Structures are given as C-alpha cells and as structure tokens.
Structure 1
Amino acid sequence: MSDVQNWIKETVSQNPVVLFMKGTAQFPQCGFSGRAVQILNACGIQNIITVNVLEDAEVRQGIKEFSNWPTIPQLYVKGEFIGGADIMSEMFESGELQNLLKS
C-alpha cells in the first residue's frame, strides 16, 4: 500500500466523519462538495474533518483508488465509505444518514 493510501486509511479510521472534497467546508470549490457540507451541517455535524483534494494531486487520485469510486466528494463515517453527494442526499431524505451519524 502506498504512503497516500496509508494516510487515507489512517485519516478515515481515526476520525468519526471525514469528507474528501474540493475546497474546504468554509469555501467549497464545487457544487457537489458544497451540497455535501450543507447536508452534514443539516445533520448537526459541527466538526467535519475535511480534506481538500485540490491541494494534493496524489490524494485526489489516491482517494478514488482507495474507495474504488470515481468522483469527489466522498464521505466516510467510522472508517466506512458512504458515498458521494447524490448518495448523501438520498440517505438524508430517507433519514438514514442522520441515524448513521447519530450512532
């Protein structure tokens, strides 16, 4: 496993909620990343750990390989890959995401 893969694995396993996104929670740099942050805020998650993939091309590529998922943003809860903005929206609307984040 590469250094980047190890770093990603450590990051997602040591933090309860991690969002790999374009930009930051304060300044998202794509609409999907912005929506992901809004959804987490709506769930009452205050301390979102975010990783700005635009700052590091290795991380940007590495997270896609790590999850085997082609797009950003990517949400991880308790070390588990949940999905991107569309999946987060669906889970939020059904209440599934709130339950997952509460436990």
Structure 2
Amino acid sequence: MIARTWRGWTRASDADAYVDYLYETGMDAYRRTPGNRGAYLMRREDGDRTEFVTLTFWDSLDSVKAFAGQQYENAVFYDLDDRYLVDRETHTLHYQVMQDGQA
C-alpha cells in the first residue's frame, strides 16, 4: 500500500471555504479513483494562515498514476486553487505503508 501526502496554505479567513472546495474537487476525485483506499484532510491554524495536509492511501503506484498521471509526484491542482492558496507544495511525497513490519 502507498501513502501520498500534499500540503498547502490558505489565509485563515479562506480556510472554511477551501475545505468545501477541496471536498468538491480533490477529495472527491481521490475517492472515485479505483485503487484508492482512503482520503483524509487535515488542517492546522498557523497565525493568519491555515495549513492543509491531504493524506491518501492507494493499492499501488499504478493506482496513484491513475489519479495523478505518469508524473505522479507532481501535485494535482484545480481551477480555483489559485484563488485560495497562498503557498503550496508542487510535489507530493509517497511512502510505502508498513504493517507489522511488512510492506
């Protein structure tokens, strides 16, 4: 199993609207992609900004590629991300999930 993470930041005043937007776009797309085992959204207030982290789980890198394309390490963005995000990671991280010491 593969875990994928991404981080982005909004103005604190845009955080609630961005949550709604993420659930309509990325979170929905994650969950509709075959091979997705779960999608979680985390947020953390940081002064006048709010940090967001997405954590998704996938059957394999092929499943990740079905969502993100062949350049799967690049983050996927949607039409209104520029409106909300004041900073963002353009690349994602991928981890092999270990269960009881086994991959």
Q: Same fold (TM over 0.5)?
A: no
TM-score using structure 2 length: 0.32
Question: Which structure's residues are more often strand, by fraction?
Answer: 2
Structure with the bigger RCO (C-alpha within 8 Å, sep 6+) is 2
The normalised TM-score by structure 1 is 0.32
Greater CA radius of gyration, 1 or 2?
2
